[in-house]
Structure formats: structure tokens, C-alpha cells
Amino acid sequence: MLLTIVLILPFHFLFSQQESGGIVNANEFADVFSGPVPKWRPRGDGYAFIARSGLVIKVNDSTRVIQEAQNTFTWSHDGESIVYTAKDSSGILKIFRYFLNDGTSKLLSLESGWADFYPDISPDDSIVAYYSAKGEPYKLYYLKNGVTRKLLARDPLEEYLHPKWSPGSNYLVYFKHLPTDEVILEIMEFFSKRVVFSLDGNRFDFYAWSPDGKEILAREVVETTVYPDYNNVVLVRFNIETGNKTVLTRKLKDLSSAEWSKASNRIVFVANEELYVMEENGANLKKIFSGGHAPNIHPNGKKVIFFRNRKNLPVCEIDLTGDNLKTLERKTFKISDLEE
């Protein structure tokens, strides 16, 4: 079944898979297949996606392929570069930056024997945050002005995973794993290193920032026994200044991803393989497509790019009204290759 191959993985799912022994080593942890994960260029005049051939970048009428790239990438906010992960000449996963103006890639990671994961670029494009093993529990690092620094160095036994910048570049959200096996979703003020908000990481998973950076969109597990029940979840908003929570949906099954439009203030999410759109207050919920994954909202706030759960995992776009479905890429992967 295709669904056993294509996993749109929430941050905590990746973490729990590693903890349960489902993922053996660091490079494997970073290489969990999550599909083509298409993303619009911030200018709206192109997009990029992962394919069997590598990272495919399409801008206007040009097509470029970074053959070494693997399944993690993010556009710079000016749309002039892409930060991605790939293995270096020693087979170690590292972070690179590809520049569209001259078609060159630059190694951002330190040359070392440890792997680096899931880079995220600050909205002003000046800082790249990521996490790395470096022979110890995962820690957060950041690269600014060519200098790499460890972001958090508290208890050496604590792990830190998946940093994501707020729209104003002033906050980072991430997961913290304590030696007691407690998982915490934290938000830290970057420059002061002060934690301003936290949630139980076993119940909540971060999905998106609000356009103004004052709220987060999260998945909440409604029922938990020994393990979280991901078939009973809701989509919620949290105000990180007041702590107020707003429940946006009824109970959902297999809520896998969500985005908050900066242009139209609407939210798009996937639940049980159905693509939905609603107002940011939860009103006017509408299903716009069946069988879609990893939606990314266009900068104009009027359409999304996503991939379909079909043979060869095609990349498509559709208006938020549910109209004008278009196939942009008919083939990204051969399913037979993924089943080997």
C-alpha cells in the first residue's frame, strides 16, 4: 500500500520513531522519506520539490536539479537561495546553500564527523538554525556571519530538536527531551535565550506560526493512554503571550500537516488524507481535495501546492476554493523504487 511508504511526519513522530528503535542511526533519522514536499518560491514565480533525481527547482521557465540533495530543504525568504541537506564526500549529512543567481552550492556546516539536520532560515535571511549530534544528545546550533555557535548548552543530557523561526526572527520553537523521557515543546526568545512558552511535547506538536508571530498552530492529542492516540486529535491555536488556547476543529484522524496563510489569514490542513481550508478562527471549514499531502500555501494566499497519494507521487496545485486543479509534475518518484 502506498500509505505505508509516504509519511508526512510531524516533528514529534520523527523523534518518537527514533526513541522506539524504529530509526537506527542519525543519518537514517534524517532520511525518513516524507514525499516530494513541494514548496512555493517566496516570490510566487516558481517552486521546488524533492524527486528521485534530487532537489528540483523550477523558476519561470528554468529547471535546475541538485542531485545530491535529500528530503530536507527550505527557501530563503528573498527567494534567491535554498538551504538543503546532502551527504558530503565522507557520507555525512551536512547543510548546504544553493544560490540561484550563479548555480553554485556552498557548504554551511562545519567540516566534521557528525551529521546536521533540518535547517531553518530566519525571516531576515541572516541566521540558519539546525540541530546536530556531535557525539552527544542532539543540540541546537546556529550559523550567523560565517560563525557556528551552539544555541543551547544547559544540561548535557538534554536533547533539542527541530528549531523553527517565528516570522519576526525573534523566537524559536523546538522540542526538548529530558533525561526523564519527558518531552517539552518550548518557545525561546532568540537573543535573550529566555523560554517564554512551553507545552507538553507528548500531547502537542507544532505546525505553524501565525503571520504576526504571536500565536502558534498546533496539533493536540485529545486522548492518551500509554501512547498518544493520533486518531483523536484537534487543531488548536495558542497565544504565546497570554497562553490562551482556541480549539479550531472537531476531533480529527491522522492530522498530518497544517499551514497558516500570511496573505489571506486562512488555514490549510490535511486530515485522513483530505485537504481542508478554513478561516483562522475555524469558521467556514471546507474540504477541497481528497488524497493530498504536504500543502504549501502560495504567497498570494489563493492556492496551494501539494502532492497526491497516487502512483509516481505527482505534484499538483489547487485554488483554496477547491477549483482549478492542475498537475504540475506528473512523476517525482517511482513507487517500485521506494518499495525496495
Q: How much is the pLDDT for 231?
A: 78
Q: Is 308 a member of any domain?
A: no
Q: What is the pLDDT of residue 29?
A: 39
41 part of a folded domain: yes
> Is residue 239 in some structural domain?
no
What is the Cα–Cα distance from 83 to 16, expressed in whole angstroms? 26
Per the document, the length of the chain is 340
- Reported as a single tens digit per residue, the pLDDT across 308-336 is 977 889 999 999 999 999 999 999 886 55
50 and 77 in a single domain? The answer is yes
249 contacts 234 by C-beta, under 8 angstroms: yes
Q: What is the pLDDT of residue 263?
A: 94
Q: Are 114 and 59 contained in the same domain?
A: no
Judgement on whether residues 81 and 127 belong to the same structural domain of the protein: no
Residue 328 lies in a domain: no
Residue 28 lies in a domain: no
Q: Do 160 and 190 reside in the same domain of the chain?
A: yes
d(CA 129, CA 147): 12
The single residue listed with the C-alpha cell 562545519 is 110
Q: Give yes or no for a contact between 127 and 40, defined as CB atoms under 8 angstroms apart.
A: no
The whole-chain average pLDDT of the chain stands at: 86
- Mean pLDDT of the 243-266 span: 92
Helix (H, G, I), strand (E, B), or coil: what is residue 173?
A: strand
Q: In this structure, are 115 and 165 located in the same domain?
A: yes
**Residue 191 covered by a domain:** yes
Q: What are phi and psi of 133, to 5 degrees?
A: -85, -55
Same domain? For 80 and 118 the reply is no
Q: Give the range of the structural domain holding residue 137, as residue numbers without chain letter.
A: 109-202
Where does a domain end: 157, 185, 202?
Answer: 202
Kindly report, residue by residue over 19-32, the tens digit of the pLDDT: 333 333 433 334 45
Is the domain of 179 the same as that of 135? Answer: yes
- Report whether 238 contacts 218 (CB < 8 A): yes
Our count of domains for the chain comes to: 2
Last residue of a domain, one of 202, 229, 249: 202
Residue 154 resides in a domain: yes
Grid coordinates of 105: 552550492
Question: Does residue 287 belong to any structural domain of this protein?
Answer: no
